[in-house]
Structures are given as C-alpha cells and as structure tokens.
C-alpha cells in the first residue's frame, strides 16, 4: 500500500508538471504567433520604405517648360529658378536622409524581432521536448504501476 501511495503521489506530481508544461508551451505558441505577426507588419513597412527610398534616389525628369519670350528674359528666369531647384534638391536630400534613418531603425527593430522569434521557437521546442519527456515518464509510471499492481495481486492471491 505504501508503494502504491508513493506511485500515486509521483503520478500526481508528474501530471501537475505536464499541465504546467502544456501551459508554457501554449503561452510560447501565442507569443510566437504575436511576434510573427509583428515581424510581418514590420517587413511590409520596411518594403514600403525601401520602395519610397528608391523612388527618391532615382532622378525624375523635370517637366519641360517652353518660354516664348526673348532669350534674355529666359536666361534671367533660369538664374532665378536655380535657387529654388537647389532648395528642392536640398529638401529631397534631407528627406532621403530621414527616410534612410527611419529605414535603418525599422531594420534594427526587425532584426530584434527576428531574434525574439528565434528565441521563442527555441523555447517552444524545449518545452515540447520537456512535455514529451514527461509523457514518457507518465507512461513508464503507468506501466510500472500496472506491473506492480499485478505483482501485488498475485502475491495477495498466492498467500
């Protein structure tokens, strides 16, 4: 009877541990899914920013303007437009730098999230392994309980 009580106690502990491991595995799965969704969202944002950055880097042809006035005024108007185009170029460069900085930040976040996803996958694999080991122990315990129980019955019937 004492052996049976010990085995039942051990079985109860293993059952509690396996329940706890299932909970951990479930939580890890939920966390992994959330991180995966966040990585997907960041990858989409990254792609959008990369597209925007590449469109800023590629020069767009300026629209042609025709001037029907005398040549002297045309040169004058060109010299007046030059500072405006420089301002536009400077603004474009500043925006490009800002987008590059933003893109770099997004890439760093994405790398960090990828690292977290990998860590979560490793945790999940570990917990699944632990859960499998616990089920093996439970099966062994049940098997040994069955044999011990049969042995006890055989001894009891034989005496």
**Whole-Å CA distances, 50 to 6, 67, 108:** 64, 38, 14
Instruction: Tell me the pTM.
Output: 0.43
Q: Hey, CA dihedral for 67, 71, 77, 78, is it positive or negative?
A: positive
> Do 152 and 7 touch, CB atoms closer than 8 A?
no
pLDDT digit string (tens) for 126-140? 888 888 888 898 888
Q: Is the pLDDT of residue 71 over 60?
A: no
> Do 45 and 110 touch, CB atoms closer than 8 A?
no
CB burial readout 5-30, b (16+ within 10 A) else e: eebeeeeeebeeebeebeebbeebee
88 or 51: whose pLDDT is higher?
51
Helix axes 71-158, 2-57, angle to 10 degrees: 170
pLDDT digit string (tens) for 138-156? 888 888 877 655 555 555 5
Q: Which two tokens stand for residue 33?
A: 């899914």
């Amino acid at each position: 009877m004492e052996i049976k009580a010990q085995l039942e106690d051990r079985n109860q502990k293993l059952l509690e541990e396996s329940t706890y491991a299932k909970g951990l595995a479930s939580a890890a799965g939920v966390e992994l899914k959330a991180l995966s969704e966040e990585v997907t969202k960041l990858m989409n944002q990254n792609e959008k920013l990369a597209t925007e950055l590449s469109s800023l880097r590629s020069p767009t042809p300026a629209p042609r303007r025709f001037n029907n006035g005398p040549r002297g005024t045309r040169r004058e108007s060109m010299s007046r437009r030059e500072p405006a185009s420089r301002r536009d170029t400077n603004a474009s460069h500043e925006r490009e730098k800002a987008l590059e900085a933003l893109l770099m930040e997004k890439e760093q976040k994405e790398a960090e999230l990828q690292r977290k996803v990998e860590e979560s996958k490793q945790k999940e694999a570990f917990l699944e392994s632990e859960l499998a080991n616990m089920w093996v122990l439970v099966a062994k315990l049940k098997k040994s309980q069955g044999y011990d129980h049969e042995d006890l019955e055989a001894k009891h019937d034989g005496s």
